[in-house]
Amino acid sequence: MSNDRWTKKLKKKMEQSVGRRNFLKALTGVTAAACGTTVVAKAVEKVIQPENSTEVPFSFEKFFQKHYQEMSPEDKKRVFQRIEEDTLTSRGVKVNIKDPLPIEGVKFAFALSLSKCNGNRMCVEACVKENNQSHDPEIQYIKVIEMDAGSFNLEKGDMYYEGESVPKPGKFYLPVQCHQCDNPPCTKVCPVEATWKEKDGIVVIDYDWCIGCRFCMAACPYEARRFNFTEPKLPKENINPNQGYLSNRIRPKGVVEKCTFCLHRTREGLNPACLEACPTGARKFGNILDPNSEVSQILKTKRVYILKEDLGTVPSFFYYFD
Amino acid sequence: MITKLWVSIIIFLLVVLPSVSMADRTTDIAGDKIADKKIMTQHFPEAEKCQHCHVSLHEITNLRLLTGDKTNSIPELCGQCHGVVKRNWDAGVHGKQVGGWKNPKPALVCIKCHEPHHPKFAEMKAKKAPRRPNLGIRKDAPHE
């Protein structure tokens, strides 16, 4: 009796587009019905299928997609087109997916002046906007940690400080984001090689290859990686249509993401969004292989501090003092 | 009577006292009234007179070095005292990067970011804090 009902429902679902979620739901339904526990099935259905889902439906093309590093230019073109179409159907936004490649003879490095940073979090806001991060649950790549001047205890730092007027007396601010390590612990632990280091020093993630095991999050000593526990929620008007496959395209649910030094911008010669937003001039970005670049000048002439240097991660992110 | 007294005291405080503290502001060498905008200098104690840096208030873009020579270069003027900053700025290390890392534009001059009459960066309001993760952790729970 209840079996009939579920078969009908399943048939109806099959006539609609078969998403992975829908399929799972139907499967759960059938199993539950077989067990005669319709109530449980209904409850499960409510939990796993929220309304107004922006999830991209299942497709064989996506399922059998190659690893990014094995894709030929034709493959890439096809995949990017598919992602653009999917975004249009699921979010209703026309986006442009591109894939700027590493530039020969360039290795990116970031330098941040702890003397100048005043903790106003404008970098955080610009980053969220640029990189299409989820607004709810909130995902932010940059953590600005407030600490007492004269101390350096990250455990006692506060990243949730409210700042009516910053800098507060007796405090200093340490923005932490992905350090793009030269010896990255996060890429070593990935069981599916979904994250790797590019030639220009940027550690990237193939969001379509990530299985969401979060080993990399556990391995990262800078807590730079974030996990999409839900489908990222961001208003349609806040979506940045200028997207990179490896950087700021809208992430699916269940994958890890992190700062990529805005590679869709920086590989085209622009500065990262956080740097452009900083009103104090504390952030410097450039090519560390060029001896005349600002970053090289800073490393030569300033007192430079490397966060958790003793771990041997060899970051490309440096703090300095004036 | 008492109210009149109070009013006159308040007027004195509001009008007379500030104008006293803004000495030399409204008269130039010729004695004309020139500064429409009242500028409070909080740069260094001796910088009360406009002529310290400006040749004359009719042509405020002409600058006067401490030696008395004229100059048009703002970094040169500021660099008289802020030598280290000037050196960093010349090397491209001080100041905000503009125009991208590949083809950087010439650095912004001092007064694009620092107001020369009160050069200390104003305190600003920070953007809103990230929400605490909703994991049932008590806010400001003691760390044990």
* pLDDT, tens digit (0-9, with 9 covering 90-100), for A150-187: 999 998 999 999 989 989 999 999 999 999 999 999 99
Q: Which residues contact A134 (CB under 8 A, 6 or more apart)?
A: A228, A230, A232, A233, A234, A251
What pLDDT, on the 0 to 100 scale, is given for residue B42? 76
- Cβ <8 Å between A124 and B97: no
CB atoms A165 and B123 under 8 Å: yes
- The residue among B72, B73, B74, B67 whose CA lies nearest residue B114 is B74
Find the CB nearest A301 among B93, B102, B123: B93
Would you state the pLDDT for residue B120?
79
* HSE (side-chain half, CA atoms, 13 Å) at B10: 6
Cα-Cα end-to-end distance for chain B: 66
Does A261 lie at the interface with B, CB-CB under 8 angstroms? no
What are the C-alpha distances in Å from B92 to residues A67, A78, A257, B77?
A: 41, 43, 33, 18
Sequence-separated (6 or more) residues with CB below 8 Å from residue A153: A147
Nearest to A159 among B94, B102, B130 (CB): B130
Which helix (H) or strand (E) covers residue B20, if one does?
Answer: helix B17-21
In tens, the pLDDT along A207-248 reads 999 999 999 999 999 999 999 999 999 999 999 999 999 999
Put simply, whether A159 touches B (Cβ < 8 Å) is yes
Put simply, whether B143 touches A (Cβ < 8 Å) is yes
Cβ pair A118:B88 closer than 8 A: no
Angle (CA) A313 A315 A321, round 5°: 130
- Within 8 A of A294 by CB-CB distance, chain B residues are 92-93, 97, 101, 104
Per DSSP, the residues of A274-298 read HHHH-SS--EEEEETTSTTSHHHHH
Higher pLDDT, B60 or B77: B77
Chain A residues touching residue B107 (CB < 8 angstroms): none
Residue B22 confidence (pLDDT) above 50: no
Count of C-beta atoms within a 10 Å radius of residue B37? 5
Dmax (CA) of chain B: 73
Position with higher pLDDT, A128 vs B139: A128
Question: What pLDDT is stored for residue B59 in this prediction?
Answer: 76
Q: Answer with the residue of higher pLDDT: B138 or A273.
A: A273
Specify whether the CB–CB gap between A126 and A273 falls below 8 A. yes
On whether the CB atoms of residues A214 and A193 are closer than 8 A, the answer is no
- Residues of chain B positioned with their CB less than 8 A from the CB of A261: none
**Given this model, what pLDDT does residue B117 score?**
84
Interface predicted TM-score (ipTM) = 0.71
At which residue do the structure tokens 């499960």 appear?
Answer: A44
Residue bearing the bigger pLDDT, A258 or A58: A258
Chain B residues with CB-CB distance to A293 below 8 A: 101
For residues A112 and A275, what is the distance between their CA atoms, to the nearest angstrom? 10
Of the pLDDT bands very low, low, confident and very high (cuts 50, 70, 90), residue B29 is: very low
How many pairs of residues across A and B have Cβ atoms under 8 Å apart?
89
Is the pLDDT at B1 greater than 70, yes or no?
A: no
Which chain B residues are closer than 8 Å to A119 by Cβ?
126
Helix axes A20-35, A38-48, angle to 10 degrees: 160
List the single range of A86-100, A173-187, B102-116 with lowest mean pLDDT.
B102-116
Q: Is the per-residue pLDDT at B32 higher than 50?
A: no
Spell B117-140 as b/e; 16+ CB within 10 A means b.
Answer: eeeeeeebebbebbeeeeeeeeee
Q: How confident is the model at residue B20 (pLDDT cuts 50, 70, 90)?
A: very low
Mean pLDDT of A26-48: 52
B142 touches chain A (CB under 8 A): no
Calculate mean pLDDT across residues B105-124: 84
Q: Examine the pLDDT at B80 and tell me if it is beyond 50.
A: yes
Q: Rounded to 10 degrees, what is the CA torsion of A51, A55, A59, A62?
A: -170
Give the separation between CA A241 and CA A43, rounded to whole angstroms: 37
Q: Do B127 and A120 touch (CB under 8 A)?
A: yes
> Do B131 and A138 lie within an 8 Å CB cutoff?
yes
Kindly indicate the confidence band of residue A129, based on its pLDDT and cuts at 50, 70 and 90: very high
Distance, C-alpha B101 to centroid of its chain: 29
Q: Is B121 on the interface with A (CB under 8 A)?
A: yes
**pLDDT value at position A159?**
92
Helix axes A2-15, A38-48, angle to 10 degrees: 30
